[in-house]
Structures are given as structure tokens and as C-alpha cells.
Copies of this chain bind each other. A is one copy, B any other.
């Protein structure tokens, strides 16, 4: 049993508040244990220069933490005048993951801006961001459908993420909180689709390594956890969620 009484294969409790902020086309507050992230999806009616004139859309993500989302206050990245390598890695991951389940040809020359702002951090902020951002994005596409600006839901499958790791006791463990994560020998973030395929696997042994067998156990844990998370996503999205997959990208 873990400090917070969970078993090794248990997720932390997840709650999602839809329409948390009023202005964005899609907005949720996602809470995974003590990690809280505001995920906003904004639709802009143009694409970045490198995408212009192709008749298709783009999805890009930004990620940030409030300075005191963590135990010690961090210097604000706007004050430092630059974005850290960690932030860049995370926002590239979020954007890439979401693009893997959207048929960009079906959204027209529009950009979906995903903003994941962590207001309280307790481990797993990047995976919570992906899980929440997926919901916010589907809500935003819902607005486009409602106003007939697009005809079909361009999202081809569900998408969610979680972390797994190997703790110092050698156990493969699901959904690490901050205390567990900071001690883990191996840390792995996994993004999967509703059909059980992988979108991203990022496994890292900082000052440690891991075996093929450990890898397989972690993948199994992650798969089970992600299935549970998707049930929550479906619950929140309701009828709109049932439209996910109504198109299959015609560019494949």
C-alpha cells in the first residue's frame, strides 16, 4: 500500500469541471489527486504561416505553472524572459498528442490553441494536461459543430495519458504523485487512444535503468489506468463524446 492508501495499480481520484472559464470555446478544470490544471481550447480563424493555403488546420499547445503551484515558489517564466526546456518539452508533447487524433483536413484553416495552466501541482501535470486538454478540445469542436462551421466531429478517437514508474522498492506503480515521482528510479509517461494504441511513450531512467520486463509491466498498468480515465472523459462529454470517431481521416 502507498502513503495515500492507494494500491499500486490505482489512479488518484479525478474530477473535471467543464466550462470553468467563460470566454474560451472549450474550458475545463481537471483535478487529478491534488494536481489541478485549467485547460482552455481557443479557436482562431487562421493558421500559422507554415500551414497557410493548405486548406487544413493546426493544433498547438502552451503549458505553464502558476509560480506557487509548487511547494517552493518558482520564478515566473515571463519575468525570466524565456521558457524553460521542461516547459517546451511538455507543450510540444501536448500538441503532438492531440494532433494524432484529429483530422486536420476537416477543421478548415483554423488553429486550436490549447492552454494548460497548472494552478496546483502534485505530480503528473503533463498527463493531466493531456487528459483535460482532450476534453476542452472536443468541447471547442462542439461549438464549431453547433454553429455549423464544421459538419462532422474531426476527432477520430479518444485520447488520455497517465504516468507509471518504478519506485525505489522495485515496484511498478501507476499514477505517481509528486513525492513518489521525485523518488522514482524510472518515470514513464504514456499517451494512448481509445482503441488501445500508443501515441507517445516517454520512459526515462534518470541515474538508473530498466529492464524489458519492467517495461512490459508498466505498459500494462498504464493501459488499465487510461481505460478508466477514458470512462470519465466519456461521462463528461456525453452526447458530444459519442460523435468522436464519426470521421476517419481521409488523408490516411
CB proximity of A252 to chain B, nearest CB, Å: 8
B219 touches A198 (CB 8 A): no
A71 at the interface (CB under 8 A from B): yes
Contact pattern, A 33-45, Cβ under 8 Å of B = 1, otherwise 0: 0101010101010
**Chain B hits for A77, CB < 8 A:** 78
Interface size of A as a range: 35 or more
A128-169, CB < 8 A from B? none
Binds B, one of A208-216, A224-232, A240-248: A208-216
Partner of A69, one of B21, B91, B199: B21
**Chain B hits for A67, CB < 8 A:** 40, 42, 62, 113, 115
CB proximity of A94 to chain B, nearest CB, Å: 12
Partner of A73, one of B44, B198, B206: B44
What is the CA–CA distance of A210 and B198 in the complex, to the nearest angstrom?
5
Partner of A83, one of B78, B87, B205, B206: B78
Chain B CB within 10 Å, residue with most, of A23, A34, A203, A211: A23
CB proximity of A8 to chain B, nearest CB, Å: 20
What number of copies of this chain does the assembly contain? 6
What is the CA–CA distance of A195 and B34 in the complex, to the nearest angstrom?
38
What is the CA–CA distance of A76 and B90 in the complex, to the nearest angstrom?
16
A64 at the interface (CB under 8 A from B): yes
CB proximity of A250 to chain B, nearest CB, Å: 13
Partner of A219, one of B113, B117, B209, B212: B212
A68 touches B21 (CB 8 A): yes
What is the CA–CA distance of A15 and B8 in the complex, to the nearest angstrom?
40
Task: Using A100-B206, A197-B209, A198-B215 as known contacts, say yes or no to A69 and B120 having CB atoms under 8 A apart.
Answer: no
What is the CA–CA distance of A179 and B202 in the complex, to the nearest angstrom?
24
A22 at the interface (CB under 8 A from B): yes
A73 touches B204 (CB 8 A): no
**Chain B hits for A206, CB < 8 A:** 96, 99-100
Instruction: List, sorted by A's number, 13 A–B pairs whose CB atoms are closer than 8 Å.
Output: A23-B69, A64-B76, A81-B81, A85-B91, A88-B88, A197-B209, A197-B210, A197-B211, A198-B209, A200-B203, A202-B202, A202-B203, A212-B219
